[in-house]
Amino acid sequence: MNWKCTCAYDGNGLNGWQSQPGGNTVQDFIEARLEQIFKTPLRIHGSGRTDAGVHAKAQTFNFKADWEHGADKLERAFRSGLPAGIQVYQVEPAADDFHARFSATGKRYAYRFYEGWARPWDARYCWELGRRRLDESAMNTAAAQLLGQHDFTAFGANRGDGSEDNPIKDMRTLEVHREGPTLTLVTEASGYLYKMVRSLAGTLVEVGLGKLTPAEVRTILESRERTNRVATAPSKGLWLERVYY
């Protein structure tokens, strides 16, 4: 049986999604719980990797295992044995050929900025800008330069493990919304390169501060080369909000 699961997690204190020798990742904790449930090691396949410190409202993963008690009981089995910052909240049977990563048609992320110093319970989930103020109109003008299908190599990063992603992505939504001192960057695309959303967020902040112009952002995109002109925003402000299938 192929199981499609949706989980949420608070990335603070975690080493990201993907399993690694040191553990303390979302995948490691979920696989450990599955081994407790099924009495055998099981490998899960996530829709993609999130960096250390990045949060998720709806990360998707799948795995294959025989389970005779229905999806509801499997979901309930997940409610114990996981750290408080990780929750599997939806479990459903899927077609045999469903794969959380390869079946995905797009993803939605949000990145939160805060002008000033946020309250302690909010500061864990946003990039505090202190006395700096952002021009969201300029940020949106720059963001519009990046819509459509492009080679986003200039906004990607090397994983350092020899893997390579297709740099051609379809950017469907990229816009900044303000609510008082809180600004939220919302993006939807066919997919993302390693650290691409954080790089977009960091670069748009440079625009909002007047350090880059919208035209320069377009030039960076067309260069297809990663340089120090592209800033990387802190991981704690980033949320994976949805995976599309």
Return the active site residues: 51
Do 37 and 88 touch, CB atoms closer than 8 A?
Answer: no
- What span, in angstroms and rounded, lies between the C-alpha atoms of 14 and 8? 13
Nearest to 159 by CA among 81, 64, 48: 48
Residue 22 near residue 98 (C-beta atoms within 8 A): no
Coil, helix or strand at residue 219: helix
Check if the beta carbon of residue 165 is closer than 8 Å to that of residue 155.
no
Find the DSSP H helices in 79-210. 120-123, 136-144, 196-208
3-state SS class at 169:
strand
How many CA atoms lie less than 13 Å away from 189 in the CB half-sphere? 26
Among residues 244, 238, 242, 241, which one has the least CA distance to residue 51? 238
Question: Burial level of 119, CB count in 10 A (0-12/13-18/19+)?
Answer: exposed
- Whole-number Å distance between alpha carbons of 50 and 55: 8
